[in-house]
Amino acid sequence: MRGGRRVDLVHAKWTQLKSKHHSHIPVAPVGYAGAFTEDVLVVAIQQNERQMPLEQQPAILVRGLVKRYDTVEAVKGIDLTVRSGEIFGFLGPNGAGKSTTISVLCTLLRPTEGSAEVAGYDVDRHPALVRQRIGLIFQDPSLDDQLTARENLWFHAMAYGVPHEERGPRINAALKMVDLDDRAGSPVKTFSGGMKRRLEIARGILHSPEVLFLDEPTIGLDPQTRARVWDHLRGIHARSPITIFMTTHYMEEAEWCDRIAIIDHGRIVAEGTPADLKSQVGGDVVVVSTDDDDRAIAEVWESFQIEAAKGTGEIRIEVPDGAEFVPRLLREMTVPVRTVTVRRPSLDDVFLKLTGRAIRDEEADPKAMMRRFARTWRGGR
Ligand SMILES: Nc1ncnc2c1ncn2[C@@H]1O[C@H](COP(=O)(O)OP(=O)(O)OP(=O)(O)O)[C@@H](O)[C@H]1O
Ligand SMILES: [Mg+2]
């Protein structure tokens, strides 16, 4: 009964199912209209059993996901629920398991244990159905430099089976969305890094995916170009009911996400809205740069019994009231203090508190990223 064969019995069951759950009928997967196989039916029944309308079903549902590469356990049993229509940020230091997780969700790697569903389909049992419903943007550029922007998109539209008559209008709309309509006929080799990234985003949304995955979409770009890429992503999000799942090293970008999860050493250490997570760091953060940070940390402990965290060339101290604390701090410290700043907690502070390490922009080294992606691709499914 499996394997794409048209089955009359399935049709009969489908009709039965339709009359039973008429208000929660799942849409037929792309390419399956009129050919409901048992696989498709099973998925449809699973969706109906959750007894919620499709738009309320999670876009991504991960349970106990483990991914091992030989001896390395890159992902150690994570659970994630991403709601439809959310912008979800996945943060973590180098080697935390972000790309591995994205690769499993996009069906490029198979899970070792546990399960993951994307757009209602199990990634391991229905990879083809998942692929039809997702867009994927890797850091490693995968455009054809010799082709023009329009030709690159045309090729993608063909690969994804976008109907012939829809290709032109969709390509025009996608190019316009990322402000590249005036460069449609230029070869990609003449594009800047930011333009290429925008073209990749246009390509990622061309087949109207339900979920768009982006692994470090703005890595290595200057702040202005990063802001522009984000403008486009937010514009796309505002205009369509798309779910966006992205990894980033840039904390200010994580602030723009509806919810974020922080992964460290293959485990989720925190999940929530940026505001929720920041509220875990109570009060103010006092940032102090000194001549000897280790000694300063010891002195803060001796004088106030507060554990200061070591940042990059600075120490950070969480206190309920920064303005009240700073004069006392300066009175007690014998280590020469160079600067003191008091500020509200940021996601950086959350990260530091939870993992004991700072996530730094320098981690976002494009060359290192490319090497990692190349390794992942070579690993295959
Ligand atoms: N193909 C592979 N074979 C063996 N180990 C791998 C492979 N790919 C990744 N790893 C290891 O799995 C762990 C997680 O790697 P992953 O690339 O998922 O991290 P990441 O969070 O994306 O890091 P980064 O921020 O540096 O991109 C690391 O220890 C890495 O060395
Ligand atoms: Mg990565």
DSSP 93: -
Other C-beta atoms closer than 10 Å to the C-beta of 259 total 17
Supply the angle between the helices 8-20 and 38-49 in degrees, to the nearest 10. Answer: 20
> d(Cα 294, Cα 309) in Å, to the nearest integer?
10
Show the ligand 1 pocket: residues with CB < 6 angstroms: 69, 72, 74, 92, 94-100, 369, 372, 375-376, 379
**What residue owns the CA closest to ligand 1's atom 10?**
74
What pLDDT does 380 receive?
A: 41
* 354/309 Cα distance (integer angstroms): 11
Q: How far apart are CA 344 and CA 322, in angstroms?
A: 9
CA distances from 53 to 23, 24, 27, 81 (A): 8, 5, 11, 16
Contact 89, 248 (CB under 8 A): yes
Residue 148 CA to ligand 1 center (angstroms) comes to 33
Domains of the chain: 8-56 (no CATH), 60-276 (3.40.50.300), 282-344 (3.30.70)
Compute the distance from residue 283 Cα to the ligand 1 centre, in Å.
35
Sign of CA pseudo-dihedral 277, 281, 287, 288: negative
Using alpha carbons only, how large is the chain's radius of gyration in Å?
24
Atom of ligand 1 nearest to the CA of 378: 1
What pLDDT shows up at residue 159?
Answer: 84
* CA of 361, nearest ligand number: 1
**Of residues 165, 267, 235, 160, the one with CA closest to residue 203:** 160
Within 209-352, strands assigned E span: 211-215, 243-247, 259-264, 267-272, 284-290, 309-310, 315-319, 337-343
What pLDDT is stored for residue 22 in this prediction?
A: 44
Q: Which atom of ligand 1 is nearest to the CA of 372?
A: 17
Listed residues: CB within 5 A of ion ligand 2:
98-99
Ligand 1, atom 12, lies closest to the CA of 74
For residues 160 and 290, give the distance between their C-alpha atoms in angstroms, rounded to a whole number.
57
One-letter identity of residue 333:
M
pLDDT tens, the chain, 381 aa long: 333 443 444 455 555 555 554 434 444 443 343 444 555 555 555 555 555 555 567 999 999 999 999 999 999 999 999 999 999 999 988 889 999 999 999 999 999 999 999 999 999 999 999 998 999 988 677 889 899 999 999 988 888 888 889 999 999 988 988 889 999 999 999 999 889 989 999 999 888 899 999 998 888 777 888 888 888 888 888 888 899 999 988 887 888 899 999 999 999 999 999 988 888 887 899 999 999 999 999 999 999 999 998 888 899 999 989 999 999 999 999 999 999 999 988 888 888 888 777 665 444 445 444 544 454 454 444
Ligand nearest to the CA of 368: 1
The residue nearest atom 8 of ligand 1, judged by CA position, is 376
- Partners of residue 148 on adjacent β-strands: 187
How far, in Å, is the centroid of ligand 1 from the Cα of 368? 11
Q: Which of 73, 76, 99, 351 to mutate to test the pocket of ligand 1 (most atoms within 8 A of CB)?
A: 99
Ligand 2 centroid to Cα of residue 334, in Å, is 42
> From the CA of 90, which ligand is nearest?
1
Given its phi and psi angles, is residue 360 left (phi above 0), alpha (psi -120 to 50 degrees) or beta?
A: beta
By 3-state DSSP, what share of the chain in percent is helix, strand and coil, each rounded to 5?
A: 45, 20, 35
**Interval between CA 253 and ligand 1 midpoint (Å):** 22
Q: What distance in angstroms lies between residue 369's CA and the mean position of ligand 1's atoms?
A: 10
How far is ligand 2, taken at its centre, from the CA of residue 307, in Å?
31
Residue 51: partners with Cβ closer than 8 Å, 6 or more residues away: 24
Q: Which numbered atom of ligand 1 lies nearest the CA of 263?
A: 21
